[in-house]
């Protein structure tokens, strides 16, 4: 029931129609009986400051920030966690006593999505990251924090990959058509949907694929891997875990990422191939 005491949460992006965050957070709000509603708003870049300050003025608890606003939103925060600052982007805002505190829950979401679905990564075989945008920054942050593993970042715009050395000086970088090392243990695809899938033929048979996209569940990247017999996961579990971490920041409790939540995201729980 919506009453005068009902609080607001939101996700701001452009476009936003595809977002599964309202469905996901609504499951948790209902489960815990929290009197709040989570809505999605399509916000143009020039309207972002008004939208964020407007939410704050309306007494919202906080909001999520998605493409293309993650970098711009950071500049609007009064305080930012060291991790979000290093990544240069925020995906979760907490409104607290008149201040806006910025967080980035993508690294924890990526890592939880990985370790809950893939056998423990090993330290001595390289991981390849395709793409060098905001999501890649979160992936690199998580992998560097949890694994001392060699990372190869391949991107269409080489300079953007090289700029990531500010985050991790030991990164190896190259253009997208660089042959993938034959001992690669995992390839993480952070390319925007629509980017051409690179040649996966040099990968060993035990290499895992991790696509940050999740719609459709069998993404073109995972489908190309499947043709080669490679196992893979999509980004649905990452979305759920980054959402759970955001929920914990707002309500001081970490909700379970279970079948009901995955069903809300996917329509069907199919994170594995
Ligand atoms: N599952 C989750 O929870 C989750 C969380 C975050 C992000 N994501 C997904 O991750 C993806 C990337 O997000 P992002 O924030 O990193 O976006 P971004 O900052 O815009 O970066 C996009 C990346 O894709 C590359 N790219 C775009 N079009 C290309 C093309 N036609 N050919 C080759 N490369 C192309 C870009 O290369 P250039 O540098 O050369 O432009 C860049 O490396 C999105 O699909 C997003 O939905 C998922």
Q: Over 90: is that where the pLDDT of 123 sits?
A: no
Which residue of the set 7, 70, 85, 145 is catalytic?
A: 70
- Compute CA distances 168 → 2, 148, 151, 193, whole Å: 47, 11, 9, 26
- What angle, 0 to 180 degrees and rounded to 10, lies between the N-to-C axes of helices 21-31 and 236-251? 50
Q: Over 50: is that where the pLDDT of 138 sits?
A: yes
d(CA 215, ligand 1 centre) in Å: 14
Residue of 17, 71, 105, 135 best suited for mutating to test ligand 1, as the one with most atoms within 8 Å of CB: 135
Nearest CA to ligand 1 atom 33: 195
**Ligand 1 atom, smallest distance to 89 CA:** 15
Predicted confidence at residue 43, as pLDDT, reads 98
Tens digits of residue pLDDT in 198-230 = 899 999 999 999 999 998 999 999 999 999 999
Q: Other CB atoms closer than 10 Å to residue 123's CB: what's the count? A: 10
The C-alpha angle with vertex 132 and arms to 262 and 163, in degrees rounded to 5, equals 145
Residues with CB under 6 A from ligand 1: 67, 106, 109, 131-136, 155-157, 160, 190-195, 212-214, 235, 238-239, 242
Nearest CA to ligand 1 atom 2: 239
Q: Over 90: is that where the pLDDT of 120 sits?
A: no
Confirm if 45 and 72 have CB atoms less than 8 A apart: yes
Average pLDDT value for the chain: 94
Q: 273: pLDDT confidence band, cut at 50, 70 and 90?
A: very low
Domains along the chain with CATH numbers = 7-104 (3.40.50.10860), 108-234 (3.40.50.720)
d(CA 194, ligand 1 centre) in Å: 10
3-state class (DSSP) for residue 99: strand
Predicted confidence at residue 119, as pLDDT, reads 87
Nearest CA to ligand 1 atom 18: 133
**Ligand 1 atom, smallest distance to 191 CA:** 24
Tens digits of residue pLDDT in 159-193 = 999 999 999 999 999 999 999 999 999 999 999 98
Mean pLDDT of 83-111: 97
- Total-model pTM: 0.95
Predicted confidence at residue 268, as pLDDT, reads 47
Q: Over 80: is that where the pLDDT of 245 sits?
A: yes
Q: Determine whether 145 is an active site residue.
A: no
């Amino acid at each position: 029931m919506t009453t005068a005491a009902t609080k607001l949460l939101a996700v701001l992006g452009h476009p936003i129609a595809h977002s599964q965050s309202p469905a996901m957070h609504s499951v948790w709000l209902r489960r815990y009986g929290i009197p709040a509603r989570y809505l999605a708003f399509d916000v143009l870049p020039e309207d972002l400051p008004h939208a964020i300050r407007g939410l704050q003025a309306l007494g919202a608890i906080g909001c999520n920030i998605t493409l293309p606003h993650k970098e711009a939103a950071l500049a609007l925060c009064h305080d930012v966690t060291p991790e979000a600052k290093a990544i240069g982007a925020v995906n979760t805002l907490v409104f607290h006593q008149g201040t806006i505190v910025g967080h980035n829950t993508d690294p924890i979401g990526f890592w939880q999505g990985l370790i809950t679905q893939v056998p423990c990564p090993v330290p001595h075989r390289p991981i390849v990251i395709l793409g060098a945008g905001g999501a890649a920054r979160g992936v690199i942050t998580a992998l560097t924090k949890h694994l001392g593993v060699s990372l190869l970042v391949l991107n269409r715009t080489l300079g953007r990959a090289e700029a990531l050395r500010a985050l991790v000086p030991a990164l190896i970088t190259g253009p997208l058509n660089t042959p993938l090392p034959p001992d690669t243990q995992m390839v993480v695809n952070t390319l925007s949907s629509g980017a051409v899938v690179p040649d996966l033929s040099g990968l060993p048979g035990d290499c895992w694929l991790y696509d940050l996209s999740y719609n459709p569940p069998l993404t073109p990247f995972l489908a190309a891997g499947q043709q080669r017999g490679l196992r893979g996961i999509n980004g649905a579990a990452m979305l759920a875990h980054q959402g759970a971490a955001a929920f914990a920041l707002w309500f001081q409790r970490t909700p379970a990422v279970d079948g009901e939540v995955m069903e809300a995201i996917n329509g069907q729980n199919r994170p594995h191939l």
